[in-house]
Amino acid sequence: MLVIDIQKQLGDLDLNVQLSLPSSGISAIFGRSGAGKSSLANLISGLTSPDLGRISLNSSLLFDSDKKISVPPERRHIGYVFQDARLFPHYKVEGNLLYGCNGKRTARFDDVVSLLDIEPLLDRHPHSLSGGEKQRVAIGRAILSEPDLLVMDEPLASLDLPRKREVMPYLERLAKEIKIPIIYVTHSLDEILRLADHMVLLNDGKVSLSGDITSVWSSQEMRPWVSMSEQSTLLEGIVAHHHETYSMSFVQLSDRQGIWVKKTDASVVLDQHIRLRIRANDVSLIKTEPCSSSIRNILPVTVVAIEKDRENDSVAVKLDLVGHVLWANITAWACDDLALEIGQKWFAQIKGVSVTQSDLCSK
């Protein structure tokens, strides 16, 4: 576990962070520009030092202002991937990778080369690589140093959209296959949806919220970050069975309820942990369960909160779905017409469900 309790004055920004992060999976650090995300990454890795406080990784002290301990970056066993790849220009790709493992080509080397599909690049120099290829090499070099923690500071930020699309599948494979905890700094919600297990919301140098991705994503604090049309709920479940006739899979949320999703990926298999995204605009409410409907997912829910947005003449309804949060966006007219009140029992009609991540490695 990474435990942080630090203070650092950075110009007008007072970075004051108290945080504990899990020792597995990907923890995403999210916030607007200037919130202190990259500064926090630099403090963790030892590139800069806090003014006050303490940082420990797996019970080993990395920094303690009271005890005057400050472990240098090269002794922290932390791999760092920057926004720009920072490869050694005079080394070929193979030389850059070997630098990460003290010049020894081991079975681990071959595994990482295969994981990131770098084999065709080994004999090339960095100047001949695309931005996406450079980042894959930089990630491989960091992994080959066998760190206890991998810090990735907006690794896709310097890439154009085609290069981002090129690198993202490798990051997804990385999240599933390597057993190294990752701190992933980003301002991209799409990257967080596809990669993160844990999420930290950083605002003006302080932690507004930290927790597993599903709880943070469904929280009130996240709603200002997402437009009304993009507001959604994340749910995690297990693929329980496939429909015998149609290309649909049933994802179990609890002993009592589950959701049907399109079986669009042949890699989605039984007993697999899977993450679903349900847009709030795709959820409507009905008082009694219909006898016949084209909608496949109609589930009993309880109204937990009602939030009115008078500016947009809309209402966000927070629902309890067998212990999970589910959001529905409806019009103010519909809210008044239905006479919605907290505690009422309704049925949620879910018109669309998308799979944002499958085979969740931390589960």
CATH of the domain at 306: 2.40.50.100
SS (H, E, C) 221-241: HHHHHCCHHHCEEEEEEEEEE
Give tens-digit pLDDT for 253-280: 977 789 999 876 555 678 888 889 999 9
Structure tokens, 116: 């990131």
Residue 109 and residue 91 share a domain: yes
Residue 266 and residue 215 share a domain: no
Model confidence at 100: pLDDT above 90: no
Residue 221 and residue 173 share a domain: yes
Q: Residue 87: what pLDDT?
A: 94
Give tens-digit pLDDT for 67-91: 999 999 999 999 999 988 899 999 9
The residue with tokens 């400050």 is 70
Residue at 113 is within a domain:
yes
Average pLDDT over residues 101-126: 88
Q: What is the DSSP letter of 322?
A: T
Residue 209 and residue 295 share a domain: no
Q: Residue 360: what pLDDT?
A: 47
How many folded domains does the chain comprise?
2
Residue ending a domain, among 185, 204, 225, is: 225
What residues contact residue 357 under an 8 Å CB cut-off, 6+ apart? Answer: 172, 193, 194, 195, 274, 275
Of 100, 102, 90, 191, give the one whose Cα is nearest residue 140: 100
Model confidence at 168: pLDDT above 70: yes
- How far CA 194 is from CA of 114, 172, 238, in Å, comes to 22, 7, 17
Residue 82 and residue 23 share a domain: yes
Residue 111 and residue 87 share a domain: yes
Q: What is the DSSP letter of 257?
A: -
SS (H, E, C) 150-163: EEEECCCCCCCHHH
Residue 339 and residue 301 share a domain: yes
Residue 129 and residue 192 share a domain: yes
Residue ending a domain, among 186, 208, 225, is: 225
Looking up residue 162, the CATH number of its domain turns out to be 3.40.50.300
Residue 235 and residue 221 share a domain: no
Residue ending a domain, among 195, 225, 255, is: 225
Alpha-carbon dihedral of residues 307, 257, 226, 199, nearest 10 degrees? 120
- d(C-alpha 75, C-alpha 345), whole Å: 57
Residue at 363 is within a domain:
no
Model confidence at 99: pLDDT above 90: no
Residue 276 and residue 165 share a domain: no
Range of the domain at 114: 2-225
- How far CA 27 is from CA of 142, 178, 181, 183, 272, in Å, comes to 17, 14, 8, 5, 21
Q: How large a percentage of the chain has pLDDT more than 90?
A: 66
Give tens-digit pLDDT for 128-139: 999 999 999 999
Give tens-digit pLDDT for 25-51: 999 999 998 999 999 999 999 999 999
Classified as helix, coil or strand, 174 is helix
- d(C-alpha 5, C-alpha 342), whole Å: 39
Residue at 7 is within a domain:
yes
